[in-house]
Amino acid sequence: MEELECPASFNELERATWAFAVKAHGEQRRKYQNEPYVKHLERVAQTVMAYSGTTGMVMAALLHDVLEDTPVTEAEMQAFLEEVCQGTIVKPAEVLQMVIDLTDQFTKQNAPGHNRKRRKQMEVERLAQISSRAQTIKLADIIDNTRDIIQHDFSFAKVYIPEIVALLEVLKRGEPFRLYMLACYEVQKAVLRLEEERRFHSNPEQNTASAEQDAE
């Protein structure tokens, strides 16, 4: 595993959580840029921090994909949180619940017989009920994922972006509201990119003529 450096902005609890996440995700890498997976977790956590998130929220942001994407169990995460939070004001149960809330429940394995569209609908209904703090972290996650996907995977973006448009409708309890607006802005930019691409491919002759005119 390559040597990674914990962001200096993290406090002691957050640094311990960062190390736990690094170990849990191991050699996993982000799909498009092949960067260590923890870089996504850092960006989500730093966005939460920039919008006045608590230490517990930053910790949950760093851990938000651990239960979903690694072999770490809830019991193992709970044991880690109880140990690291001992003597602090951070409540392990609250951090763990945020991570559970942010873990997809309706996967192919957990919801057999349902197609992707129905599973995502079920997730929207579930995420509408999670805490405002967990919704805040989800907004930060959406911002980073949307930027990544629209830049590097236009084909998947055609599936992903409409799903996120629907999801944003139920994440309005995330705080502060300007973070919600930033998520809407990033997603709307992606929607416009998709629409531009659709128009380009539906009128290739017109676009070629326009390009030739511009070159004259």
Annotated catalytic residues are 68-69
Q: How far is CA 106 from the centre of its chain?
A: 16
| Distance (Å, whole) CA 47 – CA 43 | 6
For residue 36, list its beta bridge partners: 29
- Which one-letter DSSP state was computed for residue 136? H
Nearest to 47 by CA among 38, 57, 56, 37: 57
121 Cβ neighbours under 8 A, 6+ residues apart: 166
Nearest to 96 by CA among 110, 113, 79: 79
